Amino acid sequence: METFNTLSEMIRNHIKQIAKTSGLPEGDETLEALAAAWVEKKQCFEDGVSENNLDEVDFFAKDTDKGALALTYSGSLITIGPLVDGVRRAEYTSIGLRTDVPGSAVEENAILSSDIEKDSVVMFEKGPIQQSSPIFKIAVSNEDLEAGEEEALLTQVTQDITEEFVEVNKTIIQ
């Protein structure tokens, strides 16, 4: 349990929850495999952020014009598009191993309930989900982009990271 034991308690607790709902065999081997996958997914997120001119932030105001990409402690992605006419396109993408959440969900006219902060949940007045797991990382574009360009960028980064997450999952479900 070398990798598992190096992770924070909050992450270990989420991994234990994922193990319970994943359909994988119970035990230390599964926890260690999920922990190694979590570390790899964290790196995929960080690489996607740095390669696409995004900056990690601790806070995202619900009324900011920009969009954001968030990674939850349970390894799901939340893409929050730029604010256009009071609404955003928001997408939730699960890690693919959990059976207790949708694989993905989209809301074209999403409204955040509150600001987004690291270690807190994302809540929507109207969204692809009602609320997320606590947020591990938040990233925003460091460029001034038109809303359509920013939407396309965030969507592409999410797709790229999701594809990498799927490849990581394949190493667990062999």
Are the C-beta atoms of 102 and 129 separated by less than 8 Å? Answer: yes
- Which sequence spans correspond to the domains of the chain? 1-174
* Amino acid 69: pLDDT: 98
For the entire predicted model, the pTM comes to 0.91
Q: For residue 153, which of 55, 75, 87 has the smallest C-alpha distance?
A: 55
Q: Which residues of 32-50 are buried (b: 16+ CB within 10 A; e: fewer)?
A: bbbbbbbbbbbebbbebbe
Looking up tokens 């601790």, which residue turns up? 58
- Give tens-digit pLDDT for 85-103: 999 999 999 866 555 555 7
Alpha carbons 123 and 2: distance in angstroms, whole number: 34
pLDDT along the chain (174 residues), means of 10: 93 90 87 93 96 97 97 93 97 70 84 98 96 96 96 96 89 69
